[in-house]
């Protein structure tokens, strides 16, 4: 049995589940079963396939730990008054008329400092999303701007783990890669900013709900000290402290702030960390200031387990090896970049994580780049401009699923994440224009 049709069938199942709004873990599990049956018929021992899946899943455990920590930190930040304070101060600093643009720019700046999209979304992103809901702004539009901005730093921050990964596998220097990232990002960044400016004008907000501003000081003790958990994250990230330790430190500080400033007991704070923060139903902001918690991330963790198992089988059986033959047909720089984009998109869809998308793309295209005498820096730049930014646009890839979950929205944000798809589009156009100019010179 050829594996192409089963793979296409799995992709259709995943796509339909997203369109219908089904929990993506179910179609992922079904796809896992389909591929197990397919490859067993092709001669792969079932025991060997299960080992491939389990080996890949084991690599996801550190990611799951971080996801659970993020869930706990988000809830504790709400209880400590950190997120309410960010919202309170933010509503007075951000011009509501340009909220969408401001959300994008602010997310870009924070993501450069933190170097992590998840950290950006779970901190300032959640605060911006609360403001958006209170301002009656389309939540998908707001989430698209926030997530697009969060991946600006994920792509070109010196503290980005994905940037380190790309530099490592391509044997290139990180800071030289970052210069290439900036040079290939400025035009998409300007175009994205213009798009979000237009969205801001076409979605005017006269004033973010005044009840939000007046109620927050009544429910929380607001002062600069409650921002300590957020300040700790920024400082520790600047000093390149491990993400897990950074989150743990912020969690501990948040516990103390919640107890000392907001008057919660240790038991109550533990309950928030596990089940998520919530106010009494009768309170005005009970539907706005809610969420987070370890429990809320368990569903996402289940998706991570199934998705990494699926990608483990695909990588282990070398299913995409035939893609290398297709790349050999690329006869120009623009066609090669288009081929890399296609491979990056497929790797993001079937790898289900940004890390696997990067690794699979590199594995599949590196030989072609050598044949074309393109150096490792060009390869690194193309991977950053394809696999890295395309991963969040796949609804079941955790690069997009986790931020969407943290922002309490769904894959509806994808059409509004302009920066993420303008990066490959503008770079492909640039290659085409360069080739056209060279032909005219001859």
Is a pLDDT exceeding 60 seen at residue 407?
yes
Is a pLDDT exceeding 80 seen at residue 212?
no
More confident: 220 or 311: 220
Written as one string, the DSSP assignment of 286-344 is: TTTS-B--HHHHHHHHHHHHHHHHHHHHHHHTTGGGGHHHHHTT--SHHHHHHHHHHHH
Give pLDDT, residue 20. 74
pLDDT band of 128, cuts 50, 70, 90: confident
More confident: 86 or 414: 414
Give pLDDT, residue 426. 93
- The predicted model gives 160-184 an average pLDDT of 81
pLDDT tens, position by position, 360-376: 788 778 878 888 888 88
For 221: left if phi > 0, alpha if psi spans -120 to 50, otherwise beta; the answer is beta
Give pLDDT, residue 215. 78
Is a pLDDT exceeding 60 seen at residue 134?
yes
Mean pLDDT over the full length of the chain: 82
- The predicted model gives 127-146 an average pLDDT of 86
More confident: 384 or 65: 384
- The predicted model gives 287-303 an average pLDDT of 78
pLDDT band of 322, cuts 50, 70, 90: low
pLDDT band of 249, cuts 50, 70, 90: very high
3-state secondary structure of 360: helix
What token pair was written down for 341? Answer: 């984009």
Give pLDDT, residue 385. 92
Give pLDDT, residue 258. 94
């Amino acid at each position: 049995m050829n594996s192409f049709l089963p793979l296409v069938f799995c992709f259709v199942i995943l796509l339909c589940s997203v369109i219908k709004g089904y929990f993506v873990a179910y179609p992922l599990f079904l796809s896992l079963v389909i591929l197990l049956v397919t490859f067993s018929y092709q001669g792969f021992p079932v025991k060997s396939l299960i080992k491939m899946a389990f080996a890949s899943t084991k690599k996801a455990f550190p990611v799951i730990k971080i996801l659970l920590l993020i869930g706990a930190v988000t809830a504790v930040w709400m209880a400590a008054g950190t997120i309410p304070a960010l919202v309170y101060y933010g509503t007075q600093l951000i011009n509501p008329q340009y909220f969408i643009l401001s959300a994008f720019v602010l997310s870009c700046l924070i993501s450069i400092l933190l170097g992590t999209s998840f950290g950006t979304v779970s901190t300032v992103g959640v605060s911006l999303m609360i403001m958006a809901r209170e301002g009656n702004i389309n939540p998908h539009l707001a989430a698209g701007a926030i997530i697009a901005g969060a991946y600006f730093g994920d792509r070109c921050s010196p503290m980005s783990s994905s940037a380190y990964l790309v530099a490592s596998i391509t044997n290139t220097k990180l800071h030289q890669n970052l210069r290439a990232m900036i040079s290939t990002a400025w035009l998409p960044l300007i175009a994205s900013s213009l798009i979000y400016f237009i969205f801001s004008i076409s979605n005017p907000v006269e004033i973010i709900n005044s009840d939000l501003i007046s109620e927050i000081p009544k429910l929380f003790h607001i002062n600069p000290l409650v921002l300590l958990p957020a300040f700790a994250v920024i400082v520790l990230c600047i000093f390149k402290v491990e993400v897990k330790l950074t989150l743990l430190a912020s969690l501990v500080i948040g516990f103390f702030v919640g107890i000392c400033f907001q008057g919660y007991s240790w038991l109550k704070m533990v309950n928030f960390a596990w089940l998520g923060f919530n106010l009494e139903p009768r309170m005005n902001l009970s539907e706005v200031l809610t969420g987070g918690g370890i429990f809320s991330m368990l569903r996402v963790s289940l998706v991570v387990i199934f998705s990494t198992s699926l990608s483990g089988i695909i990588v282990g059986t070398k299913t995409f090896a035939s893609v290398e033959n297709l790349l050999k047909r690329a006869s120009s720089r623009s066609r090669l970049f288009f081929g890399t984009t296609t491979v990056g998109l497929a790797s993001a869809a079937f790898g289900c994580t940004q890390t696997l998308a990067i690794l699979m793309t590199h594995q599949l295209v590196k030989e072609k780049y050598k044949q074309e005498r393109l150096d490792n820096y060009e390869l690194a730049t193309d991977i950053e401009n394809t696999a890295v930014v395309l991963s969040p646009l796949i609804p079941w890839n955790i690069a997009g699923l986790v931020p969407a979950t943290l922002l309490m929205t769904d894959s509806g944000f994808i059409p509004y994440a302009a920066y993420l798809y303008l990066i490959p589009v503008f770079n492909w156009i640039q290659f085409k224009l360069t080739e056209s100019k060279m032909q005219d010179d001859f």
